[in-house]
Amino acid sequence: MFKKLILGSVAAAATGYGIKKIYEALNEDDSTTYTSKEEDRQDENELFKELNKALAEVKNAPFAVVEKDFDELDFDFEDEKLSEMVQDLYEFVEQDYEELDELLMTKVDFQSFDEEEKKLFMCLNKANDLLCELGSFDESELERSRLREFSRKLAELEDQG
């Protein structure tokens, strides 16, 4: 009888310890994920701001560059589709932004760009236009048709880039 009591106590203690560890692990993962998403959102926002500023520096472009001062909440969407679009745009811009940045260190006049540089500028300008449009979305009034239209524009942009 005494052995059963000791074994039962050890088993209960081990179970309690295991439950505590699981609870701690779950809480740590949630806070890490939240922080990671928040940091990702800040990174996206910073890159979008930098792109917008860089494009505005170009002189003599045959079209106007849409300027917008993005804030963190512009891209904080509950809708999974919108969040994925922001991520896709971020990845698209991220891969070409450094090239644009290097270009603008030597040239700021659109007329002096070669054909490849013009294409880069125009693709990133289209991405900027989409970002400005996306940043103005009011998720509560979002119509699915507008979301589909935006999705098609993003697909076209990715095909061009």
For the chain, how many structural domains are there in total? 1
| Residue 114: predicted pLDDT | 94
pLDDT exceeds cutoff 60 at 118: yes
Give the total residue count for the chain. 161
Distance CA 93, CA 85 (A): 12
Q: Assign residue 68 a region (left: φ > 0; alpha: ψ between -120 and 50; beta: otherwise).
A: beta
The verdict on residue 25 lying in a domain is: no
pLDDT tens across 65-94, in order?
888 777 766 677 777 877 888 888 888 899
The verdict on residue 35 lying in a domain is: no
2-57 vs 80-106: helix crossing angle, rounded to 10: 50
Domain that holds residue 150: 40-160
CB atoms closer than 10 angstroms to residue 126: 17
The verdict on residue 19 lying in a domain is: no
| Residue 102: predicted pLDDT | 92
The verdict on residue 103 lying in a domain is: yes
Q: How confident is the model at residue 110 (pLDDT cuts 50, 70, 90)?
A: very high
**Nearby residues of 41 by Cβ (< 8 Å), 6 or more positions away:** 72, 75, 76
| Residue 131: predicted pLDDT | 83
| Residue 116: predicted pLDDT | 93
Give the tokens for residue 84: 């994925």
pLDDT tens across 27-77, in order?
765 544 455 667 777 888 888 889 889 999 999 988 888 887 777 666 777
The verdict on residue 2 lying in a domain is: no
pTM (two decimals): 0.68
